[in-house]
A and B are shown apart, each in its own frame.
Chain A
Amino acid sequence: MPLPANSVNWAAKVLAVTGKDIISEFRTRFAVNAIVMFALVTLTVISFALGVLQPAAEIMAAMFWIILFFAAMSGLAQAFIKEEESGTALILKLSCDGIVIFFGKFLFNLLLLIVLAILIVPLFIVLLNTTAENWLLFIAGLVLGMIGLSGATTIIAAIVSKASIKGALFTVLSFPILMPLLAAVIEITKIAFIDGRFSDAAAPIQMLIAFDVVMITLSVMLFDFVWRH
């Protein structure tokens, strides 16, 4: 049998890793079930607890991101934990570059977060009887926040995947790293809830873009070492 031509570009390899995770997730529903159930339960509990009360925009913004953050914590770590626990990590390490795996997993986590956002944004608005007054700003904050959240959780998941108490360690490690991101997205979301303009949210938006760039750059630089050893 002839050696097949080396004809797969970098992006196609990344998409192969993401695609494999999507197919695997679709068949096992390992992460989606945990994320969606957490988000639904939390939203319902908050909705019942608040009743007809209408909290201030900053409290609404904080609640929205708390739900998104902890729902993400319950599922995003699976990207690497599943590879370690099912024994597939070793062959994956030997099959492709670390950077391909990082971006493949990053993209998969980002897709999970997008699915989560598509589910919880309408529910949040309906159940808590609120709405974003500046939707463009709200979506901009959401997208930048999800990119940072996905970047940070992907590298942290790779770090904790070899530990014995993975779940707890993942949240404990993620929280301080994600604090600047959470502070910035909560501020943007608050401004979006009270019909603020983009210029009002310039500082947190800049902060968020800087966080995303730094987090992804650092992850790219460190991932190979973390993943291999």
Chain B
Amino acid sequence: MLKLEAQNLAKHFGTRKVFDNINISLEAGQSLAVVGPNGSGKTTLLKVIIGLVYPSRGDVTFSKNGRKLEFEQYRKYLSLVAPYFSLYDSLTAGENLRFFAKVSGHVIKRIEQHELLQQVGLEGRGDDFVSSYSTGMKQRLKYAVAMLKRPKILLVDEPGTNLDESGKEMAANLLNRLRDDSIIIIATNDKKEYALAGEFCQLGG
């Protein structure tokens, strides 16, 4: 059983306090919405949880069956969907999927690639360069890349960013499909997206 625990987390940039005294305890099958206005530290908290930003105080621990996991171990279970990273514009969507599958240690068959693209509403567009995609299509492709691992830990920053109504529905469906056996953390300030999670963590008052 995979478990995420964050204790007494705090992050300061110089004298500016971003967040303080955050405690999180999640097991597979539980989901958390990190909510708060712009600038309240939602993205910073996600980056601290992932292990890409050091907290000013406190610890984040991932464990499996009681055994603590290091970054290189829990990274294999983790996927991220966020507006602040990009996929490779000079590759096609299919090439992106095959590349990320391979470096993650998986071989993806053509049929699986087709299924993934179909799930995110990009069927028939796998041979198009990502540079020719709209921002909404790029966001859909990020969901497809995230789903490659069938992640046990999924972090989604602003799930509906750049997505139309059908895209938001697709994102909600994917999150619901993972909900039973994954840890899901959603950072959002959209009240509709609160409903995708079972627990809340309020930042910024």
**B-binding residues in A (CB < 8 A):** 1, 3-8, 12-13, 16-17, 20, 23-24, 27-28, 86-97, 100, 228-229
Contact = CB atoms under 8 A, between A and B. Distances in A.
Given A1-B112, A24-B88, A88-B85, A93 B52 contact: yes
Interface in B136-172: 145, 148-150
Q: Could you say which of A5, A23, A96, A97 has the most chain B C-beta atoms within 10 Å of its C-beta?
A: A96
A20 B88 contact: yes
B99 interface: yes
Contacts of A92: 103
Contacts of A89: 85
Contacts of A4: 101, 106-109, 112, 148
Given A23-B91, A23-B95, A7 B103 contact: no
Q: Could you say which of A23, A86, A94, A97 has the most chain B C-beta atoms within 10 Å of its C-beta?
A: A94
Nearest to A17: B103
Contacts of B85: 87-91
Given A4-B112, A88-B85, A16 B106 contact: no
Contact of B90 (A1, A5, A23, A91): A23
Given A24-B88, A94-B75, A1 B105 contact: no
A16 B80 CA distance: 21
A87 B138 CA distance: 13
Interface in B62-80: 71-72, 75, 78-80
A8 B105 contact: yes
Contacts of A88: 85-88
A90 B79 CA distance: 11
12 contacts: A4-B108, A7-B107, A8-B102, A8-B105, A13-B102, A13-B105, A17-B103, A23-B91, A28-B90, A88-B87, A93-B52, A94-B79
A100 B103 contact: yes
B103 A16 contact: yes
Interface in B88-124: 88-91, 95, 99-109, 112, 115-116
A4 to B, nearest CB: 4
Given A24-B88, A90-B52, A90-B80, A5 B95 contact: no
B84 interface: yes
A88 B131 CA distance: 13
Interface residues of B, number: 38
A205 B78 CA distance: 45
User: Closest 8 interchain pairs by CB?
Assistant: A87-B86, A96-B103, A4-B106, A90-B85, A16-B102, A24-B90, A6-B105, A3-B150
Nearest to B50: A94
Contacts of B89: 86
Nearest to A104: B103
Contact of B86 (A13, A17, A86): A86
Contacts of A8: 102-103, 105-107
B52 A6 contact: no
Q: Could you say which of A1, A3, A17 has the most chain B C-beta atoms within 10 Å of its C-beta?
A: A1
A6 B80 contact: no
Interface in B156-193: none
Contacts of B87: 88, 91
A94 B80 contact: yes
A131 B130 CA distance: 47
Given A13-B103, A87-B84, 18 more contacts: A1-B115, A3-B106, A3-B149, A7-B106, A16-B103, A17-B103, A20-B91, A20-B99, A23-B91, A24-B90, A89-B85, A90-B52, A91-B86, A91-B87, A95-B100, A96-B103, A229-B52, A229-B54
A91 B97 CA distance: 12
B131 to A, nearest CB: 10
Contacts of A24: 88, 90-91
Contacts of A93: 52
Q: Could you say which of B52, B80, B87, B103 has the most chain A C-beta atoms within 10 Å of its C-beta?
A: B103
Contacts of B84: 87, 90
Nearest to A93: B52
